[in-house]
Amino acid sequence: MAVRDGTKAGRAGRTAAPADGSPLGLPPNYKWIALFISTLGMLMATIDGSIVLIALPDIFRGIGLDPLQPGNTFYLLWMILGFLVITSVLVVSLGRMGDIYGRVRTYNLGFAVFTFFSLLLSITWMTGHAAGIWLITMRIFQGVGAAMLMANSSAILTDVFPHNQRGMALGVNQAAAFSGSFIGLVLGGLLAPIDWRLIFLVSVPIGLFATVIGYLKLHETSPRRPARIDWPGNLTFALGLILVMVGITYGIEPYHHHTMGWTSPTVMTSMVLGVILLIAFCIIETKVEQPMFHLQLFKIKAFTSGVLASFLAALSRGGLMFMLIIWLQGIWLPLHGYAFSVTPLWAGIAMLPLTAGLLIAGPLSGVLSDRFGPRPFATGGMLGTALCLALLELLPVDFSYWVFAVVLFLTGMAMASFGSPNRAGVMNSLPPQHRGAGSGMNTTFQNSAQVLSIGIFFSLMIVGLSSTLSGSLFRGLIAHGVPVGAADRAAHLPAVSTLFAAFLGYDPVQHLIGVHQLSQLTTVQQHALSGRSFFPGLISAPFRAGLHAALDFAIVVSLFAAGASWLRGGRYVYTEGDEAGGTAVDGTVGVEEGTGTVRPVTSPRPPVPIGILDVPRATSNGSVPS
């Protein structure tokens, strides 16, 4: 098949492919260089996505802002979710931009943008509210760079790896993305106590190195396809998704006398307007000549099933990390002698078995899916995830750590067994000219589901806490000498405020009744209330009820994800023309599942219109016209 672009690969002419299977005209072992650089980008983006979670107490202390004061939860929520929201909103547009202007060019620009705004985050000189706004703004722009990396990483790997090695390559990439989220927890816990600016500064030398090596070593292997920017689609999609995510974000905040804000006019208006704009976006995408979001790709069964499974899998696990951290920081670690101030670091360390499972199973399941197809591993991974979540639900609140570690390790193995094969199945199903947009669509569904999952998990947890926490807290405070008025005020504080206090590593009792009120009690009473057993003992039963509700939801959604994954059918690999010999149907060939043998697709499948997907037809001699 002729190479039809003006990039370095195209200008090199038609030469024999290197022995390692690298694309024509590129250096030997080029695909491994691409794997290293693209994996570095995913690792850096996901580490920075979570490193802030553990470092939040040090950040807010450093800028002199109390995030638990009324009116300051804006800073807390957007420091946590702003990065994820912006990557969800932009990743499709930036994947499409990669298809138009070059995936490598967009990817390298992502490294530069990410590095520049990491530097700006690390040199914050302001304090108070101004510093909070600066950090949120720079964090959002850092997310723009991360979205460029996320949108094009999978497409670059799919371009350079043959279909029988894509599972392995994408498995390594996915393992880096999954594990980066948990590595960030430990790294944040180590660096933030030294200086909170280090959590952003650490990305700068890595980003500079990656930007330079990406510019020197990465080559465009897919032809650029000039097209107009779909501005109506971009704007309605971005505004609609932002409004929906803003509604979800503020839905977990208290509203007047309600424990949550789902009935708030602001939340309801944001959700309704967001949904209307997203419906308008879908209509626009069927009318414009060159849409941003290729709805026609959903005609590909393997793509649709893979994206749906990815959405459901992210929905089942997105809020899980927050629940596990609160479980560890608010209950288990204090019960085992850890001061609240050090619980953020040790929570990250305690979750390392999950990272180990992800790192082992990601590449391994990718290699196996190359041989046997993605369906058994992706489906089995979600069934395994549901089983592991059920095991977590069976654990007592004060568990034995080695049992918890084994369950976490198995959970990581199960999640990675789904993630790598599923991503490979999605990318294998895409026409080459739509890999950037298709990868962005998959990532958008995944990231959006994570934000939605956080809202659902916190809502279920707050409902569980609110039913019993108030009475338990009131009785416990009265029993230790706190005046009735102060105990009543503390008991009626929103449950989400108590959760955030535990999540941030603050002493929850000091937050609930205040340092002044605490100082008026006897020394014995102060030690009892501020001790490491009072609050965990108080919250254990209500927390268990909320945790079980959240895990029940996650188990059900995991089972639906397994079903969606199974519906993808046998292994399907999109290729242009009939490279295997024989007669190709609608420009594709299939790969028979379980054999690795390439065979022509001859089943009566509805053809995809050429005007939509620009699929070149094979000529009579089996070649594809340039």
Q: Tens of pLDDT along 505-537?
A: 677 777 777 777 778 888 888 888 877 778 787
> What size, in residues, is the chain?
626
Q: Which of 184, 199, 229 is the last residue of a domain?
A: 229
Check residue 589 and report its DSSP letter. E
Q: Which of 214, 229, 244 is the last residue of a domain?
A: 229
Position 17 pLDDT exceeds 60:
no
- Is residue 215 domain-shared with residue 152, that is, in the same domain? yes
Cβ atoms 83, 143 nearer than 8 A: yes
Identify whether 275 is part of a domain: no
Q: How confident is the model at residue 576 (pLDDT cuts 50, 70, 90)?
A: low
Q: How confident is the model at residue 593 (pLDDT cuts 50, 70, 90)?
A: very low
Identify whether 286 is part of a domain: no
Let me know if 49 is exposed, middle or buried by CB neighbors in 10 A (0-12, 13-18, 19+).
Answer: buried
Q: How confident is the model at residue 566 (pLDDT cuts 50, 70, 90)?
A: very high
Say which residue, 388 or 42, is predicted with more confidence.
388
Say which residue, 560 or 293, is predicted with more confidence.
560
Check residue 605 and report its DSSP letter. P
| Residues ≥6 apart with Cβ < 8 Å to 244 | 270, 271, 274, 275, 278
3-state per-residue secondary structure call for 164-213: CCHHHHHHHHHHHHHHHHHHHHHHHHHHCCCCCCHHHHCHHHHHHHHHHH
For the chain, the domain total comes to: 3
CA atoms within 13 A on the CB side of 68: 25
- Is residue 69 domain-shared with residue 214, that is, in the same domain? yes
Q: Can you give the pLDDT at residue 182? A: 79
Q: Can you give the pLDDT at residue 604? A: 37
Cβ atoms 30, 161 nearer than 8 A: no
- The CATH number linked to 43 is 1.20.1250.20
Identify whether 234 is part of a domain: no
List % helix, strand, coil for the chain (3-state, nearest 5).
70, 0, 25
Give me the mean pLDDT over the 219-247 stretch.
83
- Is residue 472 domain-shared with residue 345, that is, in the same domain? yes
Q: Please write the tens of the pLDDT for every residue from 318-344.
A: 888 888 888 888 889 988 888 877 887
Give me the mean pLDDT over the 163-180 stretch.
84
- Is residue 332 domain-shared with residue 384, that is, in the same domain? yes
Q: Could you write out the DSSP letters of every residue in 321-374?
A: HHHHHHHIIIIIHHHTT--GGGHHHHHHHHTHHHHHHHHHHHHHHHHHHHHH-S
Which domain covers residue 205, as residue numbers?
1-229
Identify whether 283 is part of a domain: no
Dihedral sign of CA atoms 431, 432, 434, 437 in order:
positive
From residue 85, alpha-carbon distances to 82, 174, 239, 438, 554 in Å are 5, 20, 11, 19, 21
- Is residue 468 domain-shared with residue 386, that is, in the same domain? yes
CA nearest to 154, candidates 398, 434, 475, 512: 434
Ranked by mean pLDDT, the top range of 3-7, 266-270, 344-348, 593-597 is 266-270
Give me the mean pLDDT over the 81-102 stretch.
84
- Is residue 305 domain-shared with residue 447, that is, in the same domain? yes
Rounded Cα distance, 126 and 135, in Å = 10
Say which residue, 5 or 199, is predicted with more confidence.
199
Average pLDDT of every residue of the chain: 81
Identify whether 623 is part of a domain: yes
Identify whether 96 is part of a domain: yes
Q: Can you give the pLDDT at residue 586? A: 33
- Is residue 392 domain-shared with residue 531, that is, in the same domain? yes
Least confident interval from 66-80, 257-271, 315-329, 473-487: 66-80
Identify whether 254 is part of a domain: no
Rounded Cα distance, 557 and 451, in Å = 15
Position 617 pLDDT exceeds 60:
no
Position 621 pLDDT exceeds 60:
no
- Is residue 31 domain-shared with residue 146, that is, in the same domain? yes
- Is residue 598 domain-shared with residue 539, that is, in the same domain? no
- Is residue 219 domain-shared with residue 306, that is, in the same domain? no
Return the amino acid letter for 126. Answer: M
Q: Which of 554, 569, 584 is the last residue of a domain?
A: 569
Rounded Cα distance, 437 and 101, in Å = 12
Give me the mean pLDDT over the 27-33 stretch.
86
Question: Radius of gyration over alpha carbons of the chain, in Å?
Answer: 25
Position 10 pLDDT exceeds 60:
no
Rounded Cα distance, 478 and 485, in Å = 10
- Is residue 407 domain-shared with residue 427, that is, in the same domain? yes
Cβ atoms 65, 131 nearer than 8 A: yes
Phi, psi of 589 (to 5 degrees): -125, 155
What is the pTM for the complete model shown? Answer: 0.78
Say which residue, 562 or 225, is predicted with more confidence.
562
- Is residue 586 domain-shared with residue 538, that is, in the same domain? no
Q: Which residues pair with 589 in a beta bridge?
A: 600
Identify whether 409 is part of a domain: yes
